[in-house]
Amino acid sequence: MRIRVLTLNVQHDAGDPRRTELINAELRRLSPDLVAFQEVCYPSRSDQLAQLVEGTGLAHTTHQAGVLDTDWNDGTALATRWPHRVVDVQEHRASADSQVHWWTLAAAVDVPALGELLFVHPATPWRLDHAAAREQQLLAAVELDERHRFRLPSIIAGDLNATPKSAGIRFLTGLQALGGRSTQYHDAWVVGGNGTGFTWTVANPLAADEIERLVGQPRHRRRIDYIFVGSAHSHPEARARVLRAELIGDGPVDGVWLSDHFGVLADLEYSVL
């Protein structure tokens, strides 16, 4: 069975008001089965999540505000084509005294004919000097997966604000230990993508001003949005093969750039042994 997965930072409601409608049109065109959204406007400001998924068939959604009863920060959200149930929600802070929260959401998705699949969505701190906080959150995401995983290989997807050479991403892909622990997931872009896969780059006009403000370097570009799939050693009864991966929104649509991030779309083939 093929499952299409998308992660996309939608940049809340900044800039051109047509962006949400155009992202919705792309979702209807692409027809993903599982979506990890970042920076969705929380419901007290506008019901952007409902606008994003309208007419897509992604009827089952969860949002941090609905799960945690909080309006803090822009929302982390999941959308699935099939019914799901929330199995875990984690709150993280970049430091003990930080007022900014970051979330990891996890849901069990009922995949027809195959059973339940764990879909884990961390959204991590963005600051370049917050690598330690990102590492702790990714360690916690792996521990969450180990507690709740099912027979089908789990998926971890989101805006992780870390490059492939960072300790956190190297840990996820089995290239180094972290905190005395090791694991291994398949990076969908490495398996099925072409090119650098940069998702936050000065080539995107919506990102260029922010990169100048936050980084201040003229050629800055990074791959920081990911889809990871559980490996055979952690799921001996099933397989998830990455068929292809591509960037979404890496050019204007009707003259409008969709977001300051490019999304990542992956087609996976699941089978039970």
Q: Which pLDDT belongs to residue 206?
A: 96
pLDDT at 15 > cutoff 70: yes
Q: How many domains does the chain have?
A: 1
pLDDT tens digits, residue range 158-180?
999 999 999 999 999 999 999 99
Q: Determine the Cα–Cα distance for residues 38 and 94; give it in Å rounded to an integer.
A: 17
Indicate the pLDDT class of residue 95, thresholds 50, 70 and 90: low
What CA dihedral angle connects 193, 198, 203 and 205, to 10 degrees? 110
Q: Decide: 94 and 102 in contact? Cβ < 8 Å.
A: yes
Averaged confidence pLDDT in the chain:
92
Q: Tell me the percentage of the chain whose pLDDT exceeds 90.
A: 79
Task: Find the mean pLDDT for residues 116-132.
Answer: 93
Task: Find the mean pLDDT for residues 59-73.
Answer: 70
pLDDT tens digits, residue range 178-187?
999 999 999 9
pLDDT tens digits, residue range 257-269?
999 999 999 999 9
Task: Find the mean pLDDT for residues 129-158.
Answer: 96
Could you tell me the CATH number of the domain that includes residue 152? Answer: 3.60.10.10
Residue 27: how many other CB atoms lie within 10 Å: 24
pLDDT tens digits, residue range 231-254?
988 999 999 999 999 999 999 999
Indicate the pLDDT class of residue 92, thresholds 50, 70 and 90: confident
Q: Which pLDDT belongs to residue 41?
A: 87
Q: What is the pTM of this model?
A: 0.95
Helix (H) or strand (E) holding 76: strand 75-80
pLDDT at 44 > cutoff 80: no
Q: Decide: 76 and 35 in contact? Cβ < 8 Å.
A: no
pLDDT at 87 > cutoff 80: yes
List the domain range (segments joined by +) for residue 84: 2-272
User: CA–CA distance from 52 to each of 32, 147, 189, 219 (Å)?
Assistant: 13, 31, 24, 31
- Decide the pairing of beta strands 115-122 and 155-159: parallel
Max intra-chain CA distance, the chain: 51
Q: Which pLDDT belongs to residue 69?
A: 55
pLDDT at 99 > cutoff 70: no
Task: Find the mean pLDDT for residues 208-212.
Answer: 92
